[in-house]
Amino acid sequence: MHGNRLYEGQKLALKYYFVAMVLFGAQLLFGLLAAIQFLYPDFLFGILDFSINRMVHINALVVWLLYAMIGAVYWLLPDEAQREVVGIKFGNLAFYVLTAAVAVVVLVYLFIQVGPGKESTIWFITEGREYIEAPRWADIGIVAVVLIFLYNVYATVMSGQRTGILAVLMADLIALAGLYLAGMFYTDNIAIDQYWWWWVVHLWVEATWEVYVAAVGGYILMKTLNANRKVVEMWLWIEVAMMFGSGILGLGHHYFWIGTPEYWWEIGALFSALEPVPLVGLFVHVLYDWGKERGKGNQINNTPAFAWLTVETFGNFLGAGVWGFMHTLPQINLYTHGTQWPAAHGHLAFFGAYVAILIGAIYLALQKKAGLEKLKMSKAGWWAISLITVGVLFMTVALTLSAYTQTMVERGMYGATWEGYFAAQANEWFWQGMCWRLITGLMVIAGYALLMYDMIRLAKKAPASEAEVSTAAA
Amino acid sequence: MEKVSVWSSNRFWRRSATWVTGVSAVLLILLTFDSMAQMKMGTAADLKNKVDKRIPSPTVINYKIDYQLSRARGHEVPIIGGMDANGKSKYEVKEKFFGRDNYSEEEARTLIHKGKLTIQAKNCMDCHTFLGNGAYYAPDLTKAWLDPTWETLAPAYGGKEYAIAAFLQNPPAMAMHERKMPNLGITKDEAKAVVAYLKFMSAIDTNGFPRNFGKIKGAVNAWK
């Protein structure tokens, strides 16, 4: 047993978590600026335009999720494999290289913003492809860092315990990393450009990331509830079968209107309609385990982590599953594609599927760092989870109302023209939805402030029982 | 030892997961080969030989482009160079683009290459949508070339390509709404290339997206 001491891998995980939480703040800040611009278009016009705010908003989200995902792997890896992470020195070096690269990319986004229509812009300023705008030099750097990360994971598991959770993660991470390569080329053919772009975007968030979440969720269940490993891992394999079985070909729902053959209508509709099924499964599984352990008289070891995990399963099902299904069939998507619909879906889906569980994973780490047997939800933590969850949920509803209006007015009444677009944007119901989005956004930011307060307080807590642990061990 | 049911066997589920994932991945790869073949950019010879391509040759900028309902396919399709009696493209009617309708394959390719690079370099996709993908702060540009707004501005600029190019070089000066497009430092050459790209993109067969483009405005006030 390693007792209360942290592995070097876990110390590295804490560094990743720290940067992740800072970038989470940046995501919310730039989201706020973009939300204000929807209502007051002159706000920061010509200084920080919507395109820049929106790009930083989403890039910060993607990068902080990846940071927290890498962090969670470094956290559970030594614990599961029962040994120190192999090659941790390289892992640490990669962390600093990656963080420096992220800082440079963001500074260029903010201060250089756009470039001339030349290859050099793609290499050094922005690739201008939504979500993966990072310039090509950064792409190559990311690949190098990820290779080090994969080396850490594989070398550690090969020479340590190979659990089911680690087996799933090993397969999943290599797919996740490999898929990034699909987004690293340039073509004049925008249809083919978007075809491969979706390989990165969809096969990340609707396949490999979901499987990642199922694996880490299983680990959190074992840690917070002492859930039975055999049951957790069996369930994990079922989840993998369902998620990849629906998610890989579910990619077809992005191939309805981009110059692709018509057969993607049927393939995309069928498989993406199945995508919510494993998400219901996760939700049921977590609540079932909770009930079972409570029946035995067992208590939750870490209430904040478990609460965030519960929010994850519910939010994942509702945001990714229900809100995704609402506009996934081509008959509906013909009218909703390119409106606020995906924005409504995206907010709840990313929060539900990824943000919530990663916050839970961070709480799990903070508990061990502080050397606490049990971690109870603090008042600040309770307000944080409530404000953030309710805020994002209401934000989604607000965006959905705007989306309905936009679909009916712009697409239904005007047939998608420039004039139709602005008629919908000026519609009072659309505008009301945007007002509520701003208000709920402020709720989320208040929740984030409390969350940071709660986490920093925990992180500063010196391991109270370190002395006792060492005497007990001796 | 008691026989364990297959349904609660981790080994069974691990194998199922591996097979399901493998089969799905193989199917996706096979479908991708077929899609790539169908989505390859056409050539000038295709246009001359009246071959329908999902993504036509960039020389499509030499032709008049329209977007009309195809009875056979049940949705709108791009109509290139005029429409025949069966609702198909004739590939005959030319249209001057910046004063010319004889761009060679190479000239047209160079033009849309610069256009696409400019579209990426200026982050267009973080306000607009292309083929419906992007951000939702500004109009979809899939069929922007065919937008009735430009028809109304065309006479004052001597053609809609000139109107769009003028707009791109200084959008705030031609702002039509409170929500304005910023000045992104687009040069004259870049603007021409972007307009070429928009014209080329409007000829991509998007399976009927967007629906009813430019056809209706309320129930009684029809455009055409």
Give the separation between CA B155 and CA A84, rounded to whole angstroms: 73
Q: Does A265 touch chain B (CB under 8 A)?
A: yes
A156 and A178 in a single domain? The answer is no
* Cβ <8 Å between A258 and B177: no
Q: Does B218 touch chain A (CB under 8 A)?
A: yes
- In angstroms, how far is CA A99 from the centroid of its own chain? 18
A282 and A340 in a single domain? The answer is yes
* Cβ <8 Å between A130 and B213: no
- In angstroms, how far is CA A430 from the centroid of its own chain? 27
Rounded to the nearest integer, the mean pLDDT of chain A is 94
pLDDT tens track for A431-448: 999 999 999 999 999 999
Q: Kindly state whether residue A263 falls inside one of the protein's structural domains.
A: yes
Residue A462 has what pLDDT?
75
pLDDT tens track for A161-177: 999 999 999 999 999 99
Conformation bin of residue A161: beta by default, left when phi > 0, alpha when psi is -120 to 50: beta
pLDDT tens track for A11-20: 999 999 999 9
pLDDT tens track for A40-71: 999 999 999 999 999 999 999 999 999 999 99
Instruction: Give the total number of structural domains in chain A.
Output: 2
Residue A53 has what pLDDT?
98
Q: Is A302 helix (H, G, I), strand (E, B) or coil?
A: strand
pLDDT tens track for B26-83: 999 999 999 999 999 999 999 999 999 999 999 999 999 999 999 999 999 999 999 9
Non-local CB neighbours of B213 within 8 Å, separated by 6+ positions: A415, A416, A417, B67, B76, B143, B146
The shortest C-alpha distance from A338 to chain B (Å) reads 4
Q: Kindly state whether residue A472 falls inside one of the protein's structural domains.
A: no
Residues 48-107 of B with CB under 8 A from A: 54-55, 58
Q: What is the CATH number of the domain that holds A243?
A: 1.20.210.10
The shortest C-alpha distance from A174 to chain B (Å) reads 14
Of A116, A128, A261, the CB nearest to B123: A128
Residue A3 has what pLDDT?
61
* Cβ <8 Å between B10 and A128: no
A132 and A209 in a single domain? The answer is no
User: Measuring CA to CA, which residue among A283, A284, A288 is closest to residue A352?
Assistant: A283
User: Measuring CA to CA, which residue among A11, A1, A29 is closest to residue A459?
Assistant: A11
Give the separation between CA A88 and CA A23, rounded to whole angstroms: 24
The shortest C-alpha distance from B190 to chain A (Å) reads 7
Residue A225 has what pLDDT?
92
Q: Is A171 helix (H, G, I), strand (E, B) or coil?
A: helix
Q: Kindly state whether residue A474 falls inside one of the protein's structural domains.
A: no
Give the separation between CA A49 and CA A51, rounded to whole angstroms: 5
Conformation bin of residue A358: beta by default, left when phi > 0, alpha when psi is -120 to 50: alpha
- Residue spans of beta strands (DSSP E) within A299-395: none
Q: Does B171 touch chain A (CB under 8 A)?
A: no
- Which residues on adjacent β-strands are paired with residue B80? B65
Residue A471 has what pLDDT?
42
A369 and A445 in a single domain? The answer is yes
Looking at residue A365, the DSSP 8-state letter turns out to be: H
Give the separation between CA A68 and CA A88, rounded to whole angstroms: 17
A203 and A249 in a single domain? The answer is yes
Q: Kindly state whether residue A24 falls inside one of the protein's structural domains.
A: yes
User: Contact at 8 Å (CB) between A302 and A375?
Assistant: yes
A212 and A333 in a single domain? The answer is yes
Q: Does A257 touch chain B (CB under 8 A)?
A: yes
User: Contact at 8 Å (CB) between B217 and A414?
Assistant: yes
Q: Look at residues A161, A191, A209 and tell me which one is the last residue of a structural domain.
A: A161
Write the secondary structure of chain B as one string of H (helix), E (strand) and C (coil). Answer: CCCCCHHHCHHHHHHHHHHHHHHHHHHHHHHHHHHHHHHCCCCHHHHHCCCCCCCCCHHHHHECEEEEEECCCCEEEEEECCECCCCCECCCCECCECCECCCCHHHHHHHHHHHHHHHHHCCHHHCCEECCEECCCCCECCCHHHCHHHHHHHHHHCCHHHHHHHHHHCHHHHCCCCCCCCCCCCCHHHHHHHHHHHHHHHCCCCCCCCCCCCCCCCCCCCCC
Radius of gyration of chain A (CA): 22
Domain that includes residue A24, residue range: 1-161
One-letter amino acid for residue A129 of the chain: R
A313 and A177 in a single domain? The answer is yes
A232 and A353 in a single domain? The answer is yes
A210 and A290 in a single domain? The answer is yes
CA distances from A131 to A99, A102, A295, A457, B134 (A): 18, 14, 45, 33, 9
* Cβ <8 Å between B120 and A126: yes
Place of tokens 């800082």: A103
Give the separation between CA B164 and CA B85, rounded to whole angstroms: 32
pLDDT of A469 > 80? The answer is no
Give the separation between CA A189 and CA B39, rounded to whole angstroms: 9
A248 and A381 in a single domain? The answer is yes
Tell me which residues of chain B have a pLDDT lower than 70.
Answer: 1-2, 216-224
Q: Kindly state whether residue A473 falls inside one of the protein's structural domains.
A: no
A213 and A170 in a single domain? The answer is yes
Q: Look at residues A112, A133, A161 and tell me which one is the last residue of a structural domain.
A: A161
The rounded percent of chain A whose pLDDT value lies above 70 is 97
Q: Look at residues A137, A161, A185 and tell me which one is the last residue of a structural domain.
A: A161
- The encoded tokens of residue B136 equal 């939702």
Task: Look up the ipTM and state it.
Answer: 0.95
A76 and A221 in a single domain? The answer is no
Give the separation between CA A181 and CA B224, rounded to whole angstroms: 46
- The encoded tokens of residue B181 equal 């497009």
Q: Give the domain B44-202 fold.
A: Cytochrome Bc1 Complex; Chain D, domain 2 (1.10.760)
Radius of gyration of chain B (CA): 23
Q: Kindly state whether residue A207 falls inside one of the protein's structural domains.
A: yes
pLDDT category at A472 given cuts 50, 70, 90 is very low
pLDDT tens track for A244-302: 999 999 999 999 999 999 999 999 999 999 999 998 888 888 888 889 888 988 889 99
- ∠B145-B148-B149 over CA atoms, to 5°? 90
